[in-house]
Amino acid sequence: MNFQNNYVPKLTNAPYEAYLNTTWIRYAQPFVKGKLLLRVSVPFSTVAVPNVATGIVNTENRFG
């Protein structure tokens, strides 16, 4: 099992406080006496975009 985090502190053509954070959960398991490898990757993303009118940063979290 492997965990990888990708953080992007500034997005192009987006408001100043917008960011993107994606965590990947990865798993690999050999089977059939090592002749086949099963790999599964699942991303969990957080996207933050500030509301220009209120100044509050809205975040959305999703798998996939």
In this prediction the pTM is 0.71
Q: Which DSSP state fits 9? A: S
Q: Which of 36, 37, 19, 13 is nearest to 27 (CA)?
A: 37
Separation between Cα atoms, residue 13 and residue 53, nearest integer Å: 17
The mean pLDDT values, 10 residues at a time, for the chain of 64 residues are: 94 87 96 94 93 86 89
pLDDT score at 52? 80
How do beta strands 36-50 and 57-63 pair?
Answer: antiparallel
